Amino acid sequence: MTDEEIARLRAHDSNISRYRRLLKTNLSDLERRYLEQRLSEERSAVENLTHPVPPRGLSTADQFEAGAF
């Protein structure tokens, strides 16, 4: 994992912590839905960084040669 990817993970983790903290406060329904959506997006971003999806159409051997593994 590169330094840039680690920095992105830290930023996403910070955002996740902030959204979770805000969700514990008194919010309107609109605010709550917004934060829940952002939290979901941040979690997806973390998942994509930690478990990237290989490009379509490449065999496992092609992915290995391309440096995907």
What are the structural domain ranges in the chain? Answer: 3-65
CA 26, 31, 16, 12 dihedral sign is negative
Average of per-residue pLDDT values in the chain? 87
Instruction: Give the mean model confidence (pLDDT) for residues 33-42.
Output: 98
The larger pLDDT score, comparing residue 12 to residue 55, is at 12
Query: Would you place residue 66 in the very low, low, confident or very high pLDDT band (cuts 50, 70, 90)?
Result: low
- CA 65 to CA 30: how far, in whole Å? 47
User: Does the pLDDT value for residue 50 go beyond 80?
Assistant: yes
**Cβ contacts of 57 within 8 Å, gap of 6 or more:** none
